[in-house]
Amino acid sequence: MRRPTRIADYRCHTGEGPLWHPDEERLYWVDIPNGRLYRYDPATGEHERCYETDVIGGFTVQADGSLLLFEDRGHIELWDGGSVRTVLEELPAERDSRFNDVIADPRGRVFCGTMPTDDRLGRLYRLDLDGTIVELRDDVRLPNGFGFTLDRRHLYFTESEAKKIYRFEYDQATGDIDDRETFVDLAGEPGIPDGMTVDAEGYVWSAHWDGGCLVRYDRTGAEVERLEFPARKVSSVTFGDADYDVAYVTTALTDSSREQEGEGAGSLYRIDLDVTGVPEFRSRIRV
């Protein structure tokens, strides 16, 4: 039985958003509410906290290798390893919220979700190449992981509190999404779907928050594999290393104890899944 290997233990409140940086051959991930950006070098086994701000909900790798960080209040900034530049100061409608998961599309736009608040649901946005941000939906119970089908005709979108992964028709030319259908429905199962990725066979890997596992679904949405982790809150997954043949998985400790959340809660893991991934698209937002 394949077992995950713990490679970095920062006891992250909400470890999230792992993303492989092909130029640097390093893995980046975040601790959302603590605003910490981490990176791991598999060649040396070294890892470090490389940047800190108020909140980081998600990020993308830009075409030039810099990182586009999606934060609270609708704030977006560009980090190049040294300096920081503001891309969007704020979204007035998100002053009491923050970004959550994000993904760059094949043209370099970015789909990004914002969290619900006490008096409204979350929202789904698209950040276009010229820096314009477009609201796509305002009825999302908790926006989470994204992924594209290999033919680039559909976008997967996780709505955690609804316990569903949806599949939208996606127009690469315009960035429009339409005709939502349910791909996976986890009603009645423990935990909720969180971050996700798509492998080179077109299958979906979904991290299950409060489910303590990583689950693989075929193209019809049928479960074909389930891997357990020593943490209840498995939050996200991506593929990395030179051949995209290793999966990296984040977990969360939140404000609980490891007695409750599991001995590995808040750690970063790697695991060989006997399948390769595909490189994520890069954002190309003009700043």
pLDDT tens for 35-79 read: 999 999 999 999 999 999 999 999 999 999 999 999 999 999 999
- Asked if residue 177 belongs to a domain, the reply is yes
pLDDT tens for 87-135 read: 999 999 999 999 999 999 999 999 999 999 999 999 999 999 999 999 9
For the domain that residue 77 is a member of, what is the CATH number? Answer: 2.120.10.30
DSSP 279: P
At residue 287, the pLDDT reads 86
- Asked if residue 38 belongs to a domain, the reply is yes
pLDDT tens for 143-165 read: 999 999 999 999 999 999 999 99
Nearest to 236 by CA among 58, 24, 78, 47: 58
Phi and psi at residue 259, to the nearest 5°: -60, -35
Tally of structural domains, the chain: 1
**Catalytic positions:** 194
C-alpha to C-alpha distance for 35 and 26, rounded to whole angstroms: 19
- Asked if residue 201 belongs to a domain, the reply is yes
- Only one residue has tokens 């389930």, namely 226
- Asked if residue 170 belongs to a domain, the reply is yes
Q: Which domain holds residue 28?
A: 5-271
C-alpha to C-alpha distance for 142 and 154, rounded to whole angstroms: 20
pLDDT tens for 177-207 read: 999 999 999 999 999 999 999 999 999 999 9
- Asked if residue 72 belongs to a domain, the reply is yes
- Asked if residue 122 belongs to a domain, the reply is yes
pLDDT tens for 256-269 read: 999 999 999 999 99
- Please give the model's pTM, rounded to 2 decimal places: 0.98
- Asked if residue 279 belongs to a domain, the reply is no
Confidence of residue 1 (pLDDT cuts 50, 70, 90): low
- Asked if residue 42 belongs to a domain, the reply is yes
| 195 close to 204: Cβ distance less than 8 angstroms | no
